[in-house]
Amino acid sequence: MKLRITHEKLEDLHPADLADIMEELSASERQSIIASLDEQTAAAVLGELDARLTTQIVEDLDPEKAADILEEMAPDAAADVLADLSKETSEELLEEMPGHEAKEVRELLEFDPATAGGMMNTKFVLISESATREEVLEWMRKQDQSFDQLDTIVLLDHKAQYFGVVPVVRILLAEPDERLAALKMEPLVSLPPEADGKEVFQLFDKYNLRTLTVVDKDNRPIGAIAVDDVVSHLLKR
């Protein structure tokens, strides 16, 4: 199969569709496409590709380009990619990444991929349970980040401990002065990072969760597992 689409058109395709096309191409053609995409689009496409192909592509990329793409990925997705690379290559790419992003990914690499810690994303939204609906929306408007995939907000109490979660749809439908504490979901569900995959899957299934919060020994949120992370891990089994 030969690709007969201009590189300008490639970026207009959905990442999953572009990934499907790339799986039918030769290794050199895949490398050419990834090299031509901006880092954000390339990151999204690699996230949709088979892990084996992703590993091949990243290994053959210029380290600086590869690190720029990994930086655009969610920390858990970047950790999954790096975990499949040789230790030498993984360390080289981490050295190329900015300090904060590299630190997040290094911490995730310490967890077994089949545990809650290995599945969680360390980038999630934390809000005080005492905040009002209008305060939350105003804060979100001022943030320089995309909330396209956000459907759940994690709440903190006055001790900065886990208080619960609120679906974004509940916030949108609430009165402006409604406090998030009154909107949280029941029951209060969380897991420690060492919990195994079976426990994670059981909680998602039992409570029809879209997000599961991971907490440390002091009950402080350290990550969140989204339902798409669960599906991805189930498909790899």
Fold observed for domain 7-110? MgtE N-terminal fold (1.25.60)
Helix axes 39-46, 63-72, angle to 10 degrees: 80
Bridge partner residues of 132 (DSSP): 179
Q: Which residues contact 124 (CB under 8 A, 6 or more apart)?
A: 154, 211, 221, 223, 224
Six token digits for residue 160: 């900065």
Give the residue from 135, 120, 104 showing the smallest Cα distance to 200.
Answer: 120
Which CATH code for domain 126-236? Answer: 3.10.580.10
At which residue do the structure tokens 């395709």 appear? Answer: 13
Six token digits for residue 121: 């994303």
Per-residue tens of pLDDT for the chain, all 237 residues: 445 555 557 767 889 999 998 998 899 989 989 988 999 999 999 989 988 999 999 999 999 999 999 999 989 999 999 999 999 999 999 999 998 889 999 999 999 988 999 999 998 999 999 999 999 999 988 887 777 778 899 999 999 999 999 999 999 999 999 999 999 999 999 999 999 999 999 999 999 999 999 999 999 999 999 998 888 777 665
Question: Using an 8 Å Cβ cutoff, are 213 and 190 in contact?
Answer: yes
Bridge partner residues of 126 (DSSP): 154
What are the structural domain ranges in the chain?
Answer: 7-110, 126-236
For residue 169, count other CB atoms closer than 10 A to its CB. Answer: 10
User: What is the C-alpha to C-alpha distance for residues 200 and 18, in angstroms, rounded to an integer?
Assistant: 31
User: What is the C-alpha to C-alpha distance for residues 112 and 119, in angstroms, rounded to an integer?
Assistant: 9
- In angstroms, the Cα distances linking 81 to 4, 24, 56, 133 are 29, 21, 10, 37
User: Model-level pTM greater than 0.85?
Assistant: no
